[in-house]
Structure 1
């Protein structure tokens, strides 16, 4: 079996050798057929006639032309058909030179560059030319079996070549469709990975920015009052510990999404939402930022993705207030149900002139961009900018019916 496979691969790698072998086989068949008289009595068909020198020469030349049938199929068909016409007009007895034209016609019909109309035009032209010449100028009567057989063989060659070409085109189309589908699946997988990576990056940014800002503030307070008011310093350090613990828990939950499915250590805590808004506001109050919360959402049950996005928008907006609005700033948070949407607004009256370590922040973060990406992904809108008379305003409109995939319902 391995020997046959090796031989098959070798022949595919050397098509000229295969064509030369085919040409030799066709020559042997033509020479053998030239000694057979189909009209002879039973038992005396072989050796009933002998080809002449012209017939042998034409058979040899037409078989040699088949060696180039892949490189120039139409030229080989024209050459073999010409040799066949000469033999049909002059041969007596006839030699089966037309056998080479049949092989050449099959090659033309099966070529991938040939379409079906061209196949039938070339086939009909070859059939009518060879058969008509044999009937009109040949030494045999026009109704002889040899003439009708010539018509049948050329017709079958054209039909077989067209069938082979159609099958090859069908297989090629199936393979191309499968490859295109595979490319599409790979592109979709890459797109989903990129979206998930961006979503996790936004969550990490929100978690780190919020809690580290609180830790920074409380650590600064503790350092400032450590000597004079140790009780207040202890309270500030307790807030630092609580904020760092919350940061670690949220980071663990977010990074846990990267684990394999079925991992028993994967987090099962629900994603934060507006039900934790009071707790979120309390962490900022403990950090020295007065926060007022007003809700008029009438207990609306939000999809998990919308609930998380609203929470993250408020968290990021309050973090920016604490970092950039100045030490005397106050913040107001409102959550209102308006028709099919939930509207989240965060206002502050800050001067926009942070002090201390915050004054050295470059302000080049991705907080506002992340908020807009979250809201836009859910089919909503988010605007942020300075308020008339001072301060800053963040306003997000989120549809109550989320259009996101379930994959974004967890954080």
Structure 2
């Protein structure tokens, strides 16, 4: 029995016209029985029954309630008119039963203005019917019907407001879900961009160092086996360092929910010394100076602790600039790294005195073509364009992220420089 009722309810919910037709049939039967039990107004005492016209009006009004979900207000107006016509036949009809589900449906499924109009039409129709029948003095019945009508109207309005409130909650939840998904996508895109920048810096630096060391080992392999062995050892150490750093960066992408990520400390200002030493081993003499607190020394002790983001940005800036110097400065070039701390500001200056591997060829071509100063400026511009690659463009984004100012370009006395200023808060 319970399974039968459980399967019947969804079917009735999906087919509301069946429920309305059953309700209309029950209202018709109740109204007809009520009409047979009442005598016509003004008739002598005794049993009396409704005429065929009155029965037709009662049946039409009650069966019309089957359309209450489609046009509740129009059906209500029709029923009120039929009730007035029934009163004109001097019959105390019972169409007021049909107005109850209609007033409830109008209040539950239509706006406030239309539901108030339906309430007013119902009361006006009953007043007119009572006046036509001449039974305005029966205040008890009128008050009972008015109270029942207002109660059903209030229940319908409450259900409509509740549905509107639940719908607003659902819409708000959907909007929050969409906003959360958008934030998640933005965070993923930002993280992918950050990892791409980190990988570029790591790979470009270490591969450049390994390439230079491999070339040096190849040159001295026959004449100086011990030197070649040291270069190969340096290549091995550089490769291991690159693999370890890339594993730390990419490891978070392959970490499952049950495996905690192994997050090593990010490189910063204190690792610049090892970076300079690595450049010296690769063949680029690098001088490192830290200025701050009235002293200049080769250790970062005079520089106060930096925010983690600025600390990493400074390291990547020095790493990318020295990598470019190693790659483009040419033979016999030297580099200088100066980190200066001032009140409210940190300045990082990387410069080299290299002319580039193509400087000699550019000078020869310039002399042969007799291009003068304009040709020299064009050559310098092409050389500077070669030095500014994707890595320094990414560094520009890092510096701008922390409100810094970055200058990249050739030095007036020759060579290349990268200079950044980071604002520091107290």
Q: Give the TM-score, by structure 1 length.
A: 0.84
Deviation per residue, 1:1-49 (Å, 9 max, x gap)? 44334322222322222322222232233234334559xxxxxxxx976
Hey, what does 2:152 align to over in structure 1? 157
- Distance (whole Å) between structure 1 residues aligned to residue 217 and residue 86 of structure 2: 112
SS of the residue corresponding to residue 227 of structure 1 reads: coil
Q: 1:255 to 1:54 in 2, by over 3 A?
A: same
- Distance (whole Å) between structure 2 residues aligned to residue 118 and residue 205 of structure 1: 67
- Distance (whole Å) between structure 2 residues aligned to residue 122 and residue 386 of structure 1: 84
- Distance (whole Å) between structure 2 residues aligned to residue 197 and residue 66 of structure 1: 63
- Distance (whole Å) between structure 1 residues aligned to residue 188 and residue 402 of structure 2: 18
Residue of 311, 314, 318 corresponding to 1:310: 314
Greater Cα offset, 29-38 or 316-325 = 29-38
Hey, what does 1:11 align to over in structure 2? 12
- Provide structure 1 residue ranges, at least 5 long, that are not aligned to the other structure: 39-46, 403-411
Hey, what does 1:374 align to over in structure 2? 398
Q: 1:267 to 1:140 in 2, by over 3 A?
A: closer
- Distance (whole Å) between structure 1 residues aligned to residue 235 and residue 12 of structure 2: 77
Hey, what does 2:374 align to over in structure 1? none
Q: Tell me the matched-pair count.
A: 386
Is 1:119 paired with 2:115?
yes
- Provide structure 2 residue ranges, at least 5 long, that are not aligned to the other structure: 40-45, 293-301, 360-382
Q: 1:138 to 1:253 in 2, by over 3 A?
A: same
Deviation, structure 1 residue 362: 8.8
Hey, what does 2:123 align to over in structure 1? 128
Is 1:238 paired with 2:225?
no
- Distance (whole Å) between structure 2 residues aligned to residue 345 and residue 187 of structure 1: 39
- The 8 Å contact of residues 323 and 354 in structure 1, kept in 2 or not, is answered as no
> What is the 5 A alignment of 1:262-273?
263=259, 266-273=261-268
Residue of 329, 341, 344 corresponding to 2:345: 341
Hey, what does 1:105 align to over in structure 2? 103
Deviation per residue, 1:94-146 (Å, 9 max, x gap)? 221122222222212111xx3324422432x2233123213321242443433
Q: 1:214 to 1:14 in 2, by over 3 A?
A: same
Q: 1:330 to 1:168 in 2, by over 3 A?
A: same
- Distance (whole Å) between structure 2 residues aligned to residue 353 and residue 32 of structure 1: 111
SS of the residue corresponding to residue 34 of structure 1 reads: helix
- Structure showing greater Rg: 2
SS of the residue corresponding to residue 354 of structure 2 reads: coil
Hey, what does 1:33 align to over in structure 2? 34
> What is the 5 A alignment of 1:10-409?
10-36=11-37, 50-92=49-91, 94-111=92-109, 114-123=110-119, 125-258=120-253, 259-260=255-256, 263=259, 266-297=261-292, 298-353=302-357, 366-401=390-425
Q: 1:217 to 1:48 in 2, by over 3 A?
A: farther
Deviation, structure 1 residue 91: 4.1
SS of the residue corresponding to residue 17 of structure 2 reads: helix
- Distance (whole Å) between structure 2 residues aligned to residue 347 and residue 292 of structure 1: 10
Q: 1:162 to 1:214 in 2, by over 3 A?
A: same
Q: 1:363 to 1:314 in 2, by over 3 A?
A: closer
- Distance (whole Å) between structure 2 residues aligned to residue 169 and residue 58 of structure 1: 37
Deviation, structure 1 residue 53: 2.2
Deviation per residue, 1:213-240 (Å, 9 max, x gap)? 1111111111122122222222211211
- Distance (whole Å) between structure 1 residues aligned to residue 90 and residue 218 of structure 2: 117
- The 8 Å contact of residues 72 and 106 in structure 2, kept in 1 or not, is answered as yes
Deviation per residue, 1:266-296 (Å, 9 max, x gap)? 4353211111111001111111112222212
Deviation per residue, 1:219-263 (Å, 9 max, x gap)? 111112212222222221121111101101111211222324663
- Distance (whole Å) between structure 2 residues aligned to residue 105 and residue 373 of structure 1: 66
Deviation per residue, 1:275-324 (Å, 9 max, x gap)? 11110011111111122222124321112222112111111121122223
SS of the residue corresponding to residue 303 of structure 2 reads: coil
- The 8 Å contact of residues 73 and 118 in structure 2, kept in 1 or not, is answered as no
Q: Give the TM-score, by structure 2 length.
A: 0.81
- The 8 Å contact of residues 347 and 391 in structure 1, kept in 2 or not, is answered as yes
SS of the residue corresponding to residue 145 of structure 2 reads: helix
- Distance (whole Å) between structure 2 residues aligned to residue 88 and residue 385 of structure 1: 100
